[in-house]
Structure 1
Amino acid sequence: MRERLPLWLQDRCEMRPRAVAAVGVVLLAAVGFAGQQYWSDRPRAVTVPAVVAPGAVPAAATAPAGAPAAGTGGVGGAARIVVDVSGKVRDPGVRRLPAGSRVEDALAAAGGVPPGTDTTGLNRARVLVDGEQVVVGAPAQPPPAAGAGGGVGSGPGAGLGPGPLSLGSATVAQLDGLPGVGPILAQHIVDFRTARGGFRSVEELRQVDGIGERRFADLRALVRP
């Protein structure tokens, strides 16, 4: 039957290998595209988010910065302590901190320590106790007993070791170790002592050039005539 057809029609009806390969590639591409569409449109499981009761807030979100978590100190992390930070800090004074705070937290609350301040005798990791005083820039003393109210010179880096420093015999280097006193102010104190023949009372320290009310308040308990 094929031999009876015209030659041009026989040539049209002939299936060449190249044409068969092209048709096969098109069919494979069509099958792959159909499979991809089916896979992307398949049903998927949806995870329902957990229901949070109105007003429920995680405990970590309500705790103040630096405060211990509930059950680790204080009453639910709400207890606070009061400490006096003085000496070579940028903003000395009384600070209220969360219970369980450390010396480092007290220094941060007082504005930090100026660069160059010697803090080698200060244990920044020690836990503070209520009512204590932290003096920066003075020789270290043993830490206060737990639960005891801190007085002047309690805690590492606070106080002056054996007792108040004598204004009548202290050297410039010794005076330089007092909180808020540098080498220039220490020399002023020595010059004042030389000109006046000594100190008759600690109150005379107010008359030294460079000592204001705040600095005198920091030094008053650390020195004697």
Structure 2
Amino acid sequence: MEWLKNKRTKKLLRLAKNYQVSLILALLGFTLLGAGLSIAKFSRQSSDPQFISAQGDQNGEEIVVDIAGAVNKPGVYSLPAGSRVSEAVDKASGLSGEADKAWVAQNLNFAAKLADGQKIYIPAIGQAGKVDTGTVAGQAAGKININTAPSGELDTLPGIGPVTAQKIIASRPYAATEELLSKKVVGASTFEKIKDKVTIY
């Protein structure tokens, strides 16, 4: 009887030992599974694209421009400082069907930066030759807009040649005509010749 009892005890101990090993393995498996799920979740979150909303001008500064003529929605618009002529045209819902696109292609610099208070005028077909060029494409009457005028037009100013015209374009935008002097684009004598013939809007 004692022998049978010892045999049963050994068998129970052996079973308990086997179950203990299985339990440890099971716990280890659950631990590894949990760790794997956490890593997978972290990897998935890390690989997700991060969308950042464009905030426009970082300083929040704005300019106001007036766009008129052959555009779909002429008017006065606020734009972030540093905006281009193309953005003003987009704001006005683009050129209208009446716009003189040949004139625009030759005379309007869509890449030029806008200045606060600037006026842009887009002539209709047949109008460009009748309207004083001083009132077209952001120019005050009888004056050339140093912020938007193309090189060929700047070249018509007294004392301004092709090289200086390119310097004027490269130094845009201007908040005042006097910046031609402060930015060292032209000398004092040349500025005296052109100061009454140029504008910034």
Q: Would the TM-score normalized by the shorter structure come out above 0.5?
A: no
More helix by share: 2
**Which of structures 1 and 2 has the bigger CA Rg?**
1
TM-score, normalised with respect to structure 2: 0.38
Greater RCO structure (CA 8 Å; 6+ sep): 2
TM-score, normalised with respect to structure 1: 0.34
